[in-house]
Each structure stands twice: as C-alpha cells, then as structure tokens.
A = this chain, B = another copy of it.
C-alpha cells in the first residue's frame, strides 16, 4: 500500500506524526472531490464506526494544513478542507456548487498576488435561467446553501 506510506512520509517530513485519528481524517478528506467541513468529516467517521471527537477533527485539520497536505477555504461562513497537490497554486472556489479548482500561482500585472478567487464556475454560470434548482449541473450535485446566502459575497 504505497499510497498510504506516501502520506505518512509527507506528514513526517513536516514534523507531524501520522497518528490513527489524523490518518482517519485524511482518508475522509481523500474520499471527497470538493471541500467539506470538520463537522461533515466528524459525522462520516462516526458513521464508519470510528469514534472521534469533533475537537480532534479540528486539530487534525490544523495539523494537515500545517503539513501542507490540506488547504482550508471559507464557504458560506464556515471552514472547509480539501487535500491538495504539492505544487504551489491558488484556488478557484465556486460559491454555487462548492467546487475548487487548483490554478498555477499567479501574480497579476498590477502586482497583486492572488491567493483565492471566489465566484461561479462555468458549469454553474450557464443555467442562470432558473431560480430553482431544477436543471442544475448534473455532474455537480451542489452543496446545500446556508443562511446568509444572499446578495453579498461574504465567502
């Protein structure tokens, strides 16, 4: 299982021990294509029969972020986490479906160094015809919107 060993190596290289709980959290993140919250990870692990405290999930997230394996985002006012590649990059974050795309590091002509771009991805922009969710992008289930999903852009 060289896959798991690689993660252990990347954790150890950052001075973070690959404890059982941290690996569980990492596995839960690896199973998701788009970022999820600490609460979601917590619920999934409990459902898998792996007892873990929510506090521990938060701390594991912090460790994984420190180790550079995971990046954190802010979606609808709460923190979400996703496993990212090792190359330096920034992100495109769709506020409609939650999808995150990695982009090559970029410094704009005006000198502004981009770290995160929030907006609406191509798949979610297209069907801007309907107010409801019918005809939503098929391959992207979309995350449930929360309170405060109004006209502002507080991501």
Please list the residues of chain A having a beta carbon within 8 angstroms of any beta carbon in chain B. Answer: 65-66, 71-74, 77, 79, 90-92, 94-95, 101, 107-108, 110-122, 125-126, 150-155
B114 with A121: CB separation less than 8 A: no
Known contacts: A72-B152, A152-B71. The answer to whether A119 contacts B122 by CB under 8 A is: no
A154 touches B73 (CB 8 A): yes
- Nearest B residue (CB) for A62: B150
Q: Closest residue of chain B to A90, judged by CB?
A: B119
Q: Which residues of B contact A73 (CB under 8 A)?
A: 153-154
Question: Which residues of B lie under 8 Å from residue A94 when comparing CB positions?
Answer: 112
Q: Which of B91, B122, B153 contacts A115 (CB 8 A)?
A: B153
This protein's copies in its complex = 2
Q: How far is the CA of A75 from the CA of B120 in the complex (A)?
A: 20
Q: Contact between A79 and B110 (Cβ–Cβ < 8 Å)?
A: no
Chain B nearest CB from A111 CB (Å) reads 3
Contact at B116–A112, with CB atoms within 8 Å? Answer: no
> Taking CB as reference atom, which chain B residue is nearest A74?
B154
Complex alpha-carbon distance, A155 and B115, angstroms = 10
Instruction: Please list 11 pairs of residues, one from A and one from B, whose beta carbons are closer than 8 Å in the complex, sorted by A's number.
Output: A66-B150, A72-B152, A73-B153, A73-B154, A74-B154, A79-B154, A112-B119, A114-B117, A115-B119, A115-B155, A116-B119
Partner of A116, one of B79, B90, B113, B155: B155
In the complex, chain B residues whose CB is within 8 Å of the CB of A114: 117-119
Chain B hits for A117, CB < 8 A: 112, 114, 116-118
Given A153-B73, A154-B72, the answer on whether A111 and B122 have CB atoms closer than 8 Å is: yes
